[in-house]
Chain A
Amino acid sequence: MARLILDNLHKSFHGDPVVKGLSLTIEPGEFVALLGPSGCGKSTILRMLAGFEAVSDGQILHGSECLSSSRQHVPTEDRNFGMVFQSYALWPHMSVKDNVGYPLKVQKIPAGERNRRIQEALEIVQLEDYADRLPAQLSGGQRQRVALARSLVTEPDVVLFDEPLANLDRHLRATMEETFRAFHKRTGATIVYVTHDQSEAMSLADHIAVLNKGQLVQWGTPQELYATPKNTWLANFIGRGSVLNVEAIAPQQYINSADLHRLIDGYLPQTVSSNVLVRPQDIAFVDVSADVASSKPLAVTVRHCIFRGERYDIELILNNGQTLLAYSDVPMTLDSVHHVRLGQAWSLESES
């Protein structure tokens, strides 16, 4: 096991840059998610890691070994990587057992040893009873578990996941996420997991690299990304919340309630301003008559009230016309006027 280093990685197709100067260090045994909207280059990065695509510039190191650079390219066959594909990529003419055992057969592992390891891999994904079925006879979730077993049977250093849940229905995704988590715990393999679904990345990964337009926006733990997003784009991309225009303030800092109210009141359109992120759980509705806190609450008007099951999403309009998302346990009448106090906010860099 060795760390995986992406060093100033570039990739362009026919002159169009797709990945621009990406640097990441992935520690052994880490579960890393590459997260971004479609077209951000995350799948290209994964394909470069697997060796399907050559790199245009920069290098990929595995420990001290250089896997890819503009001069060198270790072919996929010689990298000890596993991969789980979005389309499962199970060979339809082979049984489950043969699919899982194919990498071992290629490596000329003797039959006895091979069968033992196939059995072991199928146990991990709980498909022992399906060994002789053909892929066509399995459900989507079962197919993905076969692909998982196949990717782990050679005990690879790194396992790559290419949007593995994209083709599954929502109910199955939760179960599969649990399978992936258990898989990571049991094998201890380094995992690079590509997805466009932020909740998937947040719930699975140790570290997330958020990408946009081929560039790394932020690298951090899920908690860091949620609490301290770098810029407005990321704030809008991860979690729910409202980005407000306020009076100018230095980026990347917490703002307490009193300061925040002052900044909102001080905001004038057409002047230098900053953006701050307000999460809905930091918004409290207050009763003006009973309010004793020092700062004055903000007057808001209810524009939408949407039932979400466990609570209501309330879309509010501030006096200066900006919108604010809040949660409420009870429904609220449209166009009614209320007062809120914002607990805290996080100031953002403007989008470059």
Chain B
Amino acid sequence: MTPSLLKARVMDGLRMDSQLRWLSIGLFILIATLSLVPSLRLLVEALSHVTFSASSPLAEVLRSERTWIALKNSFYTSGLGTLIAVILGCGFGFIVTLTNIRGRAIWVFCFMLPMMIPPQVTALSWLQLFGPASPILNTLGMAPALGSPQPMYSAEGIALLLGIQSAPLVYLALRTQLIALPQDLLEAAQLSKASQCRVWFDIIVPLCRSAIIAGAALAFVSSLGNFGIPAMLGIPAGYIVLPTLIYQQMAGFGNDMLSQVAGLSMIIALLVLAGMLLQQWLQQRSRYALLGHTAQSISFRLQHWRLPLEVLLALVLCFILVAPLFALVVSSLVPALGMSLTSDTITLSAFYEMISRQGVTSRAFENSVFLAFSCALVLMLVSLPLGYLLMRLPMRTRAVIASLIEVPYAIPGIVLAIAFILLFAKPLPFIQVSLYGTLGIIFLAYLSCFLSVCLKPVLSAMSQLDPALEEAAQLAGARPLKRLVDIILPLTAPAFFAGGLLVFLISINELTVSALLWSAGNETLGVLIFNLDESGDSVLASAIAVLVVLLVAGLMSLLSLFASRLPKGVIPWHD
């Protein structure tokens, strides 16, 4: 389609009056700046020095042995992690979605929690669980001898945590498919005298295969881009994956450093892109159209198997969630690492020190809260008119713009951070203000990254709105902005706040982007935990991590309160 024809269509779709035209021009510039410019800048940097001489930065990256080791390690940890995620996610998904197990909402909430807990906190809590300095093992007298290696500092340790962190992605993909399977399918199979086992293998598993593959691809892609876990577990052991390699390269200096890093980032971005395309292709290839209505989803009635399964679930959750978090809490309560927790040694001094100590802690807290709050606020304000305009576009144009917005969220944070460094390393033209080394650059990167997080619930609420509601306001004489405020906003408010809360929840703990963009005085909570742990101050790091987990769980519960007023699927951990 030629640009002019496309434009004509867009204009026709919008039936522009002047208010709408200004609104859409403004938003177009915003999307272009936030979504397109960073990715394009990265591409330019990576390709600008491409010469076929052996000394070009890209060639140097490709020639370096470290690149290939990191690539191999990335594939190993992400692959193993994906396998763990698929086993956990499918097991959990089948049991919780298809059976009459009790307390379903609580199981789902607990299982989804690891996804929302920042990776560096997950890593920290597992480090506290195992190893010679573990307060729990010391308290139980089971700690390995001092000097013996920490088992988590290994490729398998990284893979395990990647798996736990991305298992909810597999679960979500599977669950969407499972609740779409009508009970009729099961009943028809039972009438053909198939046993429960046969129903499982002949009907349910084949119908879910594409969903499982899609979930696995998502888990793989998200593991590939994960920075927090390999940074906390891999760097001390000298085990390098692609994101940590970029992080370490950034610390080095040199003329070509940025170009080399940009080249590395492009490699990750391409891998992620390939993974996403593969996932979409697989999903389209093996999707069966489900006939029949789904008034009733499939549900197996467990008789005497119910209690054992519940115990099994509890044990798994104990292992992946409760034990590490407990270790984290215990670590935050001992006076120093390596001591055991008794009634004599228990102390709140870490919390006290963290809260009362002026300087870096409170500053990081203030920075993160400020960033998360302003980011959520700005994105909420943007996503309302943006969603409104998108809904008025023809389907195909809408899909293109929606996927543009998705790009910064899909590419790994470390890649996005590099793109922003490239964009803002030099002072801005005309005004000569440099954003590099200020909170401003982190703020902009967050806006770019989380726009789609905020927009999705708003879009899904708007698409469920009866268009006649707005048309009636139009007949009443209300212009677009008035309709937006009087009619659309009140009706989509819950989704709007849910979007904002989700952004707040994710950005307050964010590490990957800020790990590269922070500077002295501009630390975030994520960076603080990471730095404290790196400098050996695990007790303090644990204390902050405990507060972060409480914050996450609190915000998640707050979101659950909105759940009944939101479109289905907006809150991942809710039916």
Residues of A within 8 A of B (CB): 50-52, 54, 73, 75-79, 81-83, 85-87, 89-93, 102-103, 106-107, 147, 150-151, 154
Once the chains are docked, how many angstroms separate the CA of A154 from the CA of B468? 19
From B162-170, B282-290, B425-433, B469-477, give the one contacting chain A. B469-477
Once the chains are docked, how many angstroms separate the CA of A85 from the CA of B474? 13
Say whether B466 faces chain A, with CB atoms less than 8 Å apart: yes
Asked if A89 and B468 sit within 8 Å, CB to CB, the answer is yes
- Chain B residues with Cβ below 8 Å from A83 are 471-472, 475
Asked if B476 and A102 sit within 8 Å, CB to CB, the answer is yes
Known pairs A83-B471, A85-B471, A87-B468; A103 contacts B476 (CB<8 A): yes
Asked if B471 and A52 sit within 8 Å, CB to CB, the answer is yes
- Chain B residues with Cβ below 8 Å from A75 are 15, 17, 474
- Chain A residues with Cβ below 8 Å from B7 are none
Min CB distance A310 to B, Å, is: 38
- Chain B residues with Cβ below 8 Å from A93 are 490-491
From B45-53, B478-486, B516-524, give the one contacting chain A. B478-486
Asked if B471 and A50 sit within 8 Å, CB to CB, the answer is yes
Say whether B256 faces chain A, with CB atoms less than 8 Å apart: no
Q: B interface, by DSSP: helix, strand, loop or mixed?
A: helix
- From 13 to 40 in chain B, residues with beta carbon under 8 angstroms from any chain A beta carbon are 15, 17
- Chain B residues with Cβ below 8 Å from A87 are 466, 468
Asked if A76 and B468 sit within 8 Å, CB to CB, the answer is no
Asked if B12 and A85 sit within 8 Å, CB to CB, the answer is no
Jot down 16 A-B pairs with beta carbons below 8 A, ordered by A: A52-B474, A75-B17, A77-B474, A77-B475, A77-B477, A87-B468, A89-B469, A91-B472, A91-B473, A91-B490, A91-B491, A92-B491, A93-B490, A102-B476, A102-B478, A107-B477
* Most chain A beta carbons < 10 A, residue from B469, B477, B479, B486: B477
Say whether B487 faces chain A, with CB atoms less than 8 Å apart: yes
- Chain B residues with Cβ below 8 Å from A91 are 469, 472-473, 487, 490-491
Asked if B476 and A106 sit within 8 Å, CB to CB, the answer is yes
Q: Which 8 A-B pairs have the closest CB atoms?
A: A103-B476, A89-B468, A89-B472, A76-B474, A85-B468, A93-B490, A106-B477, A106-B478
- Chain B residues with Cβ below 8 Å from A89 are 466, 468-469, 471-472
Min CB distance A140 to B, Å, is: 15
Asked if A73 and B15 sit within 8 Å, CB to CB, the answer is yes
Cross-interface CB contact of A77 among B469, B479, B490, B491, cutoff 8 Å: B479
Min CB distance B276 to A, Å, is: 30
- Chain A residues with Cβ below 8 Å from B487 are 91
Cross-interface CB contact of A106 among B15, B17, B482, B490, cutoff 8 Å: B482
Min CB distance B394 to A, Å, is: 9
Asked if B15 and A54 sit within 8 Å, CB to CB, the answer is yes
- Chain B residues with Cβ below 8 Å from A107 are 477
Q: Which residue of B lies closest to A81 (CB)?
A: B475
Once the chains are docked, how many angstroms separate the CA of A78 from the CA of B15? 14
- Chain B residues with Cβ below 8 Å from A77 are 474-475, 477-479
- Chain B residues with Cβ below 8 Å from A54 are 12, 15
Once the chains are docked, how many angstroms separate the CA of A83 from the CA of B466? 15
Cross-interface CB contact of B471 among A76, A106, A151, cutoff 8 Å: A76
Min CB distance A66 to B, Å, is: 17
Once the chains are docked, how many angstroms separate the CA of A86 from the CA of B477? 20
Known pairs A91-B469, A106-B482; A76 contacts B491 (CB<8 A): no
Min CB distance A134 to B, Å, is: 12
Asked if A102 and B473 sit within 8 Å, CB to CB, the answer is yes
Once the chains are docked, how many angstroms separate the CA of A79 from the CA of B490? 26
Once the chains are docked, how many angstroms separate the CA of A24 from the CA of B473? 28
- Chain B residues with Cβ below 8 Å from A103 are 475-477
Once the chains are docked, how many angstroms separate the CA of A296 from the CA of B436? 104
Min CB distance A106 to B, Å, is: 5
- Chain A residues with Cβ below 8 Å from B491 are 91-93
Once the chains are docked, how many angstroms separate the CA of A83 from the CA of B487? 17
Once the chains are docked, how many angstroms separate the CA of A79 from the CA of B471? 13
Once the chains are docked, how many angstroms separate the CA of A91 from the CA of B487? 7
- From 451 to 501 in chain B, residues with beta carbon under 8 angstroms from any chain A beta carbon are 466, 468-469, 471-479, 482, 486-487, 490-491
- Chain A residues with Cβ below 8 Å from B474 are 51-52, 75-77
- Chain A residues with Cβ below 8 Å from B482 are 106
Once the chains are docked, how many angstroms separate the CA of A91 from the CA of B550? 39
Once the chains are docked, how many angstroms separate the CA of A51 from the CA of B472? 12
Min CB distance B491 to A, Å, is: 6
Min CB distance A212 to B, Å, is: 26
Asked if A102 and B486 sit within 8 Å, CB to CB, the answer is yes
Min CB distance A94 to B, Å, is: 8
- Chain A residues with Cβ below 8 Å from B479 are 77
Q: Which residue of B lies closest to A88 (CB)?
A: B468
- From 321 to 341 in chain B, residues with beta carbon under 8 angstroms from any chain A beta carbon are none
Min CB distance B479 to A, Å, is: 6
Asked if B477 and A50 sit within 8 Å, CB to CB, the answer is no
Asked if B486 and A76 sit within 8 Å, CB to CB, the answer is no
Min CB distance B368 to A, Å, is: 35
Once the chains are docked, how many angstroms separate the CA of A50 from the CA of B473? 12
Cross-interface CB contact of A82 among B12, B17, B475, cutoff 8 Å: B475
- Chain B residues with Cβ below 8 Å from A82 are 475
Min CB distance A275 to B, Å, is: 41
- Chain A residues with Cβ below 8 Å from B15 are 54, 73, 75
- Chain B residues with Cβ below 8 Å from A106 are 473, 476-478, 482
5 more A-B residue pairs beyond the given contacts A82-B475, A147-B472, with a C-beta to C-beta distance below 8 A: A73-B15, A76-B475, A79-B475, A83-B472, A103-B477
Q: Which residue of A lies closest to B394 (CB)?
A: A14
Once the chains are docked, how many angstroms separate the CA of A171 from the CA of B299? 40
Q: Which residue of A lies closest to B489 (CB)?
A: A93
Once the chains are docked, how many angstroms separate the CA of A156 from the CA of B479? 18
Once the chains are docked, how many angstroms separate the CA of A243 from the CA of B219? 67
Q: Which residue of B lies closest to A151 (CB)?
A: B475
* Most chain B beta carbons < 10 A, residue from A92, A106, A150, A151: A106
Known pairs A73-B15, A93-B491; A50 contacts B475 (CB<8 A): yes
Q: Which residue of B lies closest to A86 (CB)?
A: B468
